[in-house]
A and B are shown apart, each in its own frame.
Chain A
Amino acid sequence: MNQHVTHVELHAPDDGIAPGAELLRVDDVSLSFGGVKAISDVSFNINKGEIRAIIGPNGAGKTSMLNVINGFYHPQIGTITFRGEVRRRMRPHVAASSGISRTFQNVALFKGMSTLDNIMSGRSLKMNKNFFWQMLYFGPAREEEIEHRHKVEEIIDFLEIAHIRRTPVGKLPYGLQKRVELGRALALEPDLLLLDEPMAGMNLEEKEDMSRFIIEVNQQFGTTIALIEHDMGVVMDLADRVVVLDYGKKIADGSPQEVQANQNVIDAYLGVPH
């Protein structure tokens, strides 16, 4: 099965941004829901090709941050710059079509569909034969369908989930559901992949598999990754740089070692009397 991995032709789109240069930047973003401030004045950037971790205690605003980046939430203040284009608000559709894909904290798969169909749905944007042909399910629409099936099969081989290809995802164990969700996000061939707690609720073996996939996606496909994770061991191993949020504010930003040694971070995690 593994021999397929070397043939995978899934690459992050060539967007003319050199590895290491800035791919995405959030500037002074503040987000509140009514009177509740979820994020206040946070700025950080993500460089092309890196694995960037966002960590912090529960309720620190990590998921809200991802939701701002892919356009589910619109910040009241601040801007998001993706590939040099400054936006006040991202829209989910635009985010997806410009190369940002994501997974969710509580697996958000299409439960009634098979693994294959779930991952195929990630190709939606790449398929554009019109409604008329789709209605007839004939001619160009059919050829297109077959062409995209090849890509999807590559992803399935890569993630080693060939045996559950036809299984409705609602019936799969949690760890495999997370893997299918990663597959669906990869099917967009994203430039920036947002992973919201990809290893939550997994056992050690599943975590190791998932870590391996994340590293391979990053290194082989050149995909930039931003991930939220609670398992500090995993974060320290995977991440190139870490941003730490607490109560919606950024309290540290830097290499895993720097962040680990930062007194603010230690206080946030262990708690200090305020």
Chain B
Amino acid sequence: MQELLHQIFVAPFTLIYELPDLFIQTIWEGFVAGVLYSLIALGFVLIFKASGVFNFAQGIMVVFAALAMVGLHEMGVPAWLSLILAIAIMWALAWGIERVVLRKLVNQPDAILLMATIGLTLLLKGVGETVFGGEPKSMIHTELGLPTGVTDWNAFGGLVSFQHIDVAAVVIAVLMVIGLGIFFSKTRIGRALRAVADDHQAALSVGISLNQIWVIVWFAAGVVALVTGIMWGARSEVSFALEIIALKALAVLILGGFTSIPGAIVGGLIIGIGEKVFEVYWGSIFGGGVEAWFAYVLALIFLLFRPQGLFGEKIIERV
């Protein structure tokens, strides 16, 4: 018993004190993973806010977008062109989803729309495997001009190393979030998006077309998915296993709140950093592998005490 308490309350902190470079390294790794979780969650939030659809397919969209890009490159298309084509594919997908799924199911109960996105998940998986092949592929980030290599930082009597691709991932993610922020706050379409998110009927009454907004928002989520896919792919490889990681975004959403973009970002970072730190310092108590479930347990605790998440709107329904 005493030993267990020691493992929980003493050993990790002595380790942090003795090897601060390991601690910084852990935080950085967790931060990068967190940024990518945030991006996946951001895609969910965009769609949920604008159309009230809980898009189960967001995870597979990440894989599909990356797979389409890499697959096109394998077929001999130059890297930059395949990036542009992948963006075009995400546009076509958004347009198709609006035409074939959303327009037909408008005003249906949420559960039906959720089921539709599960169907979409299966469809994208099937089409992706058929057209581009199911075997894992390596990302073409060097061809896209993204940096590779490592910078070591001598600090606290040790080494902290930063993968350049990770730094690039963080920079690109930050730029993308800023870009989306400006787009939403300053432009007509951004304003229309927020209007639709606030009140469908009022938006219709000023002549905002819901159909157009849905296409745009699914496209935005698709582009976010593509960027996320490129970054995850560069860290490991492009395969359907990535979809599992996308499920962690669900935990991020519970933490941050389903309707909040800042919530998605903060939630992603908390989970990314939290699971890494927990794995390194407390993982041995559980025999390792805590990264796989940490996010879900944290989400469960949040569900018990703060179901609307950190930044979500408290939903009060009149009965």
Contact = CB atoms under 8 A, between A and B. Distances in A.
Interface string A92-129: 11001100011010001111110001001111110101
A131 B190 CA distance: 10
A2 to B, nearest CB: 27
Contacts of A93: 204, 207, 209
A117 B208 CA distance: 14
Contacts, number: 90
B195 A134 contact: no
A155 interface: no
Contact of A124 (B191, B198, B199, B216): B191
A198 to B, nearest CB: 14
Given A108-B201, A111-B198, A112-B194, A96 B187 contact: no
Given A93-B204, A101-B205, A101-B206, A121 B195 contact: yes
A184 interface: yes
B75 to A, nearest CB: 28
Nearest to B205: A102
B186 A137 contact: yes
Interface residues of B, number: 24
Contact of B205 (A96, A111, A117, A123): A96
B221 to A, nearest CB: 15
Contacts of B206: 96, 101, 121-122, 124-125, 184-185, 187-188
A188 B195 CA distance: 15
Contact of B208 (A113, A121, A145): A121
Contact of A113 (B195, B201, B209): B195
A203 B198 CA distance: 27
A70 to B, nearest CB: 6
B193 to A, nearest CB: 10
B187 A124 contact: no
A113 to B, nearest CB: 6
The B contact surface, by secondary structure, is: helix
B188 A124 contact: yes
B202 interface: yes
Contacts of A123: 188
Given A93-B207, A113-B194, A121-B195, A145 B202 contact: no
Contact of A134 (B183, B203, B209): B183
Contacts of B197: 112
A135 interface: yes
B63 to A, nearest CB: 25
Given A124-B192, A135-B183, A137-B183, A113 B198 contact: yes
B207 A131 contact: no
A113 B207 contact: no
Given A121-B195, A137-B182, A96 B201 contact: no
B204 A134 contact: no
B189 interface: yes
Interface of B: 182-183, 186-192, 194-195, 197-199, 201-209, 216
29 contacts: A70-B205, A72-B204, A92-B207, A93-B204, A93-B209, A96-B204, A101-B206, A102-B205, A104-B202, A104-B205, A108-B199, A109-B202, A110-B195, A110-B198, A110-B199, A111-B199, A113-B191, A121-B203, A124-B188, A124-B207, A125-B206, A131-B216, A134-B190, A135-B183, A137-B186, A141-B188, A185-B205, A187-B206, A188-B206
Which 5 A-B residue pairs are closest in the complex by CB-CB distance?
Answer: A96-B207, A108-B202, A110-B198, A92-B204, A125-B207
Interface of A: 70, 72, 92-93, 96-97, 101-102, 104, 108-113, 117, 120-125, 127, 129, 131, 134-135, 137, 141, 144-145, 184-185, 187-188
Given A72-B204, A124-B207, 4 more contacts: A96-B206, A96-B207, A108-B202, A122-B206
